[in-house]
Amino acid sequence: MTPVERIDPPSVAEFQTRYVKASQPVILRGAIRDWPAVRRWSGDYFAERYGDREVPVARVRDGALYEAASGVHFETIRIADYVDLLAPGKPNDRFMFFRIHEVLPDLFDDIVRPPYCSDVRWFRSRFWFAGPDTKSPLHRDLPENLYAQVVGHKTFVMLDKRLTRMVHRHSFLSGVPNFSPIDAEAPDLTRYPRFRDAPLMVAHLEPGDLFYIPSFWWHQGHSQDTSMSLSLWWTRGLMVNVAKAAEQFARVRKIRI
């Protein structure tokens, strides 16, 4: 696998020209190390401050986080109970992730929107709180994404959006139209032969890193230890209308991803 470039945070103009316009992933080393979240967030912090709040978690069933027809399997849990599940030695088949602006906007008190997306018209966010060895499905997102690694370490495997044919993606009419059935770290090439020789990239994230995932690039995250992170999604120009239409499509189809 080819390592994703890892650099000191560039100027906004350089980031836009060299990476966004070129659709090129990059890790901005230590770009969020000054966030209050980096100093404050831990399991104990969440249990103390938000312990009684009920939030969505996805449950893994038969080794899968989702069903192709119906999407991700969500249920609710108290944050304190979820933190307790992450204690060493306890079995855990749940993965907490949710849209911050819809579920727990208080988290915005601890983050600072990066200058690279501070002036955008369309902005959304998602919080990810995972135990060790938790893996997300291979998928892609329409918006640009600045992925903020706050706590713990995470590895991403990626594939260029121009190579979508290789991922055997689920049908547009399925419950997970932006997902692939392939585990990019251990692909079943008998079932998914087009993935053979896929030119993958790999990104290793540390606390304080900001990882740029370009629009429509395929990516799969894997938590190496207990991890807290944020997806900061944004788009500009004509793509704002496309993003709004995609949200409406998901609501009408009742897609849960």
Quote the pLDDT of residue 248.
77
Distance CA 162, CA 24 (A): 12
Burial of 176 (0-12, 13-18, 19+ CB in 10 A): buried
**Reported pTM:** 0.93
Q: Is the pLDDT of residue 118 over 80?
A: yes
> Is residue 176 over pLDDT 90?
no
- Asked if residue 192 has pLDDT above 70, the reply is yes
| Whether pLDDT at 65 is above 90 | no
Confidence of residue 88 (pLDDT cuts 50, 70, 90): confident
CB-CB contact of 4 with 201 (8 Å): yes
256 band by pLDDT with thresholds 50, 70 and 90: low
User: Stretch 64-89: mean pLDDT, rounded?
Assistant: 86
The residue-averaged pLDDT of 22-29 equals: 98
Least confident window among 6-20, 57-71, 116-130, 162-176: 57-71
Is the pLDDT confidence value at 63 over 70? no
DSSP H or E stretch at residue 220: strand 218-223
Which residue do the tokens 């906004």 mark? 12
pLDDT at 144 over 70: yes
Burial class (CB in 10 A: 0-12, 13-18, 19+), 47: middle
pLDDT score for 174: 85
Q: d(Cα 192, Cα 106) in Å, to the nearest integer?
A: 42
pLDDT at 91 over 80: no
pLDDT at residue 229 in the model: 97
* pLDDT value for 210: 98
Q: Which helix (H) or strand (E) holds 245?
A: helix 239-253
- Amino acid 190 reads T
Instruction: Quick: pLDDT tens for 225-244.
Output: 999 999 999 998 888 878 78
Per CATH, the architecture of 2-253 is what? Sandwich (2.60)
Q: What is the pLDDT of residues 37-50, one digit of tens each?
A: 999 999 999 999 99
The pLDDT score that the predictor gives to residue 255 is 61
Res 172: pLDDT: 83
Burial category of 121 from C-beta neighbours within 10 Å (exposed 0-12, middle 13-18, buried 19 and up):
exposed
Share of the chain above pLDDT 90, in %: 76
Secondary structure (DSSP) of 136-205 = PPSB--SSEEEEEEEES-EEEEEE-GGGGGGG-PPPTTSS-TTB-S--TTS--TTT-GGGTT---EEEEE
Mean pLDDT of the chain: 92
Mean pLDDT along residues 14-19: 97
Cα distance between residue 73 and residue 139, in whole Å: 16
